[in-house]
C-alpha cells in the first residue's frame, strides 16, 4: 500500500457558503489570493449565483457541493453540515450535469450497513427540483418517518436515518446546472484509493502515491483497500455526470488482514473521471462507493524533492526543489507556490518554458523563524499551469517538518 503522506493539490472543500465567502475559501484552497476579477456577488432573492469559477472548480474537483445560499438560509445549512460530519463517511453518488427543461435520473444502491444517508442537490437556476424515491418507488416527503427534508432557494437536501436497503432513485428536473450527492455513514468504505508508482531508494523501494494528477498517455497503477465483508468487488471509471466511462480490472494482492487490498494497471480516459467501487455486503445487498476526487490525465507533472516528509531547521533559510515534467507539446508554465505557515520566502522562476518530454527545476526557499517550535509541520504546494499550447495543469505537495537547529560542535 502507498505510504506517501502528501495529498493532491486540492484538499476537499465540502462547505456551504454565501458567494463571496465561498470564493475566498476556494482561492485559499488553491494557494492564491482572491482575484481582482472575482465574479462572486451577493445573491438576489431569486438568484442562484453568480459564484466565482474558482469556487465551482474547487468544489467539483474535491467532491464538494457549491451551494448558493441566501443569508437567511445559513442556519438551515448547518443541518446539512451536521449530517455529513463524523467517521466512516462514504459517497454513494456524486454527479453534475446541465438540464434544458428536462430530467435526469440516478440509481443509488443503499445496503443495510448504511446507518444514515443524505441526498443533496444544488442548482444555479431557481426552480430546478429534486425528487427522491425509496426502494418501493414512493416519494420521500416531509413528515415521513426518519426523514428530515430541507428546502432551499437553490437546492434541497433530505436526510434519512436507518434507510431501508435497496435501490433509491433520484430525479432532478428543471434547467441549468445542478450538483447532486448522496453521502452516508457505513462500515463498508474504501481507503488508500490512489494512483501509485514505484519509489524510494535502492533496497527500500515501495509503492508511493503519485504527486498530483496522473500523466496522460501513460499506463496508470491504482491501489485500493476495502473491508473483507465486501464481496464481488468491481471497479469502474465514471464521468462527472455519473456515467460509466470504462470498467477497470484490479486484482486482490493482499487479504491477510481484516481488509482486501487491490491493485491494477490500465489506460486512462481522455476525459475527467471519478472512481466507483461496487459489490455486495455479507447479506448479498448491493453497495456503491464513489471516490470524491475528480481525476484528469494531464501532460504536465510536478514532482517534489522527496516523496516523504523533509526536515528543515528553525532559524534557517533552506531550499526545496521541485521538478516540472512536460510530456506534451512545448509550453510555457506559470508557477504558483504557497504554504499555510508562510515559510516560503522565494520561488523561482515564476514562469518557465519546457519542451516536449523535457523537465525544468523550480527552487523554493523556506525561511523558518527561530521561534518556530520543533515538530510543527507545513505543506508547501506548487501548481504548474500552461500559458501557451493546450491547457493543462498539475501540482504537488511537499510535507515539511521543523527541527531544532544543529548545535555547533
Q: Taking residues 324-345, what's their average pLDDT? A: 97
What pLDDT does residue 41 have?
54
Phi, psi of 16 (to 5 degrees): -120, 120
Q: Is residue 66 in a domain?
A: no
Same domain? For 395 and 342 the reply is yes
Residues 320 and 288 both lie in one domain? no
Choose one of 281, 297, 313: the last residue of a domain: 297
User: Is residue 10, in this structure, part of any structural domain at all?
Assistant: no
The answer on 199 and 308 residing in a single domain is no
273 shares its domain with 376: no
For residue 257, name the pLDDT band (cuts at 50, 70, 90).
confident
Determine, yes or no, domain membership for 340. Answer: yes
Question: Of 265, 297, 329, which one is at a domain's C-terminal end?
Answer: 297
Amino acid 337: pLDDT:
98
- Does the residue 185 lie in any domain? yes
Assess if residue 376 is contained within a domain.
yes
**Cβ count near 105 (within 10 Å):** 11
Q: Which domain holds residue 343?
A: 300-403
Q: Are residues 215 and 161 in the same domain?
A: yes
Instruction: Note whether residue 337 is domain-resident.
Output: yes
277 and 313 co-located in one domain: no
Q: CB–CB of 264/221 below 8 Å?
A: yes
Contact 275, 237 (CB under 8 A): yes
**Residue of 290, 247, 266 whose CA lies nearest to 90:** 290
Among 87-91, 262-266, 290-294, 296-300, the range scoring the smallest mean pLDDT is 87-91
Instruction: Cell 544543529: give the residue.
Output: 406
In a domain, 83, yes or no: yes
In angstroms, the Cα distances linking 34 to 343, 369, 371, 381, 385 are: 20, 27, 30, 17, 17
pLDDT of amino acid 176 = 96
Q: Are residues 104 and 189 in the same domain?
A: yes
**Residue 229 confidence (pLDDT) above 70:** yes
Give the domain CATH number at 85: 2.60.120.380
pTM: 0.83
Whether 84 and 145 map to the same domain: the answer is: yes
Side by side, which strands form the sheet with 206-209?
206-209, 190-199, 220-227, 259-266, 251-254
Give the end of a domain, one of 246, 265, 297.
297
- The span from the first CA to the last CA of the chain, in angstroms, equals 41
C-alpha 75: how far from chain center = 26
CA 142 from centre of chain: 32
Q: How confident is the model at residue 106 (pLDDT cuts 50, 70, 90)?
A: very high
In the chain, the number of structural domains is 2
- Report the share of the chain in percent with pLDDT over 90: 72
Residue 285 counted as domain residue: yes
Amino acid at each position: 500500500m502507498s505510504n506517501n503522506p502528501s495529498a493532491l493539490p486540492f484538499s476537499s472543500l465540502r462547505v456551504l457558503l454565501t458567494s463571496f465567502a465561498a470564493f475566498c475559501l476556494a482561492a485559499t484552497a488553491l494557494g492564491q489570493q482572491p482575484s481582482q476579477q472575482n465574479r462572486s456577488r451577493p445573491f438576489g432573492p431569486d438568484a442562484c449565483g453568480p459564484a466565482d469559477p474558482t469556487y465551482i472548480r474547487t468544489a467539483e474537483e474535491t467532491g464538494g457541493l457549491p451551494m448558493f445560499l441566501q443569508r437567511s438560509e445559513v442556519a438551515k445549512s448547518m443541518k446539512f453540515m451536521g449530517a455529513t460530519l463524523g467517521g466512516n463517511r462514504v459517497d454513494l453518488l456524486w454527479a453534475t450535469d446541465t438540464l434544458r427543461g428536462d430530467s435526469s435520473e440516478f440509481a443509488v444502491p443503499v445496503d443495510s450497513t448504511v446507518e444514515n444517508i443524505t441526498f443533496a442537490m444544488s442548482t444555479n437556476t431557481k426552480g430546478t427540483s429534486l425528487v427522491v424515491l425509496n426502494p418501493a418507488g414512493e416519494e420521500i416527503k416531509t413528515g415521513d418517518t426518519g426523514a428530515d427534508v430541507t428546502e432551499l432557494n437553490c437546492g434541497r437536501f433530505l436526510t434519512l436515518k436507518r434507510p431501508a436497503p435497496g435501490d433509491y432513485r433520484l430525479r432532478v428536473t428543471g434547467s441549468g446546472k445542478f450538483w447532486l450527492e448522496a453521502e452516508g455513514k457505513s462500515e463498508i468504505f474504501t481507503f488508500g484509493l490512489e494512483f501509485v508508482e514505484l519509489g524510494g531508494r535502492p533496497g527500500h523501494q515501495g509503492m508511493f502515491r503519485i504527486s498530483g494528477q496522473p500523466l496522460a498517455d501513460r499506463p496508470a497503477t491504482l491501489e485500493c483497500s476495502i473491508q473483507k465483508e465486501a464481496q464481488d468487488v468491481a471497479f469502474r471509471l465514471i464521468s462527472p455526470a455519473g456515467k460509466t466511462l470504462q470498467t477497470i480490472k484490479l486484482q486482490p494482492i493482499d487479504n491477510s488482514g481484516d481488509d482486501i487490498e487491490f491493485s491494477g494497471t490500465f489506460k486512462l480516459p481522455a476525459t475527467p473521471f471519478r472512481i466507483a467501487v461496487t459489490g455486495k455486503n455479507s447479506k448479498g445487498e448491493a453497495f456503491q462507493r464513489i471516490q470524491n476526487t475528480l481525476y484528469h490525465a494531464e501532460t504536465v507533472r510536478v514532482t517534489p524533492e522527496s516523496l516523504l516528509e523533509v526536515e528543515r531547521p528553525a532559524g534557517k533559510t533552506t531550499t526545496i526543489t521541485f521538478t516540472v515534467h512536460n510530456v506534451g507539446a512545448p509550453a510555457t508554465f506559470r508557477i504558483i507556490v504557497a504554504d499555510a505557515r508562510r515559510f516560503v520566502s522565494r520561488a523561482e522562476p515564476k514562469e518557465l518554458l519546457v519542451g516536449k518530454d523535457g523537465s525544468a527545476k523550480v527552487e523554493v526557499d523556506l525561511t523558518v523563524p527561530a521561534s518556530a517550535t520543533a515538530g510543527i509541520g507545513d505543506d508547501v504546494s506548487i501548481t504548474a499551469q500552461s500559458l501557451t499550447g493546450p491547457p493543462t495543469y498539475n501540482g504537488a505537495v511537499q510535507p515539511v517538518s521543523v527541527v531544532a537547529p544543529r548545535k555547533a560542535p
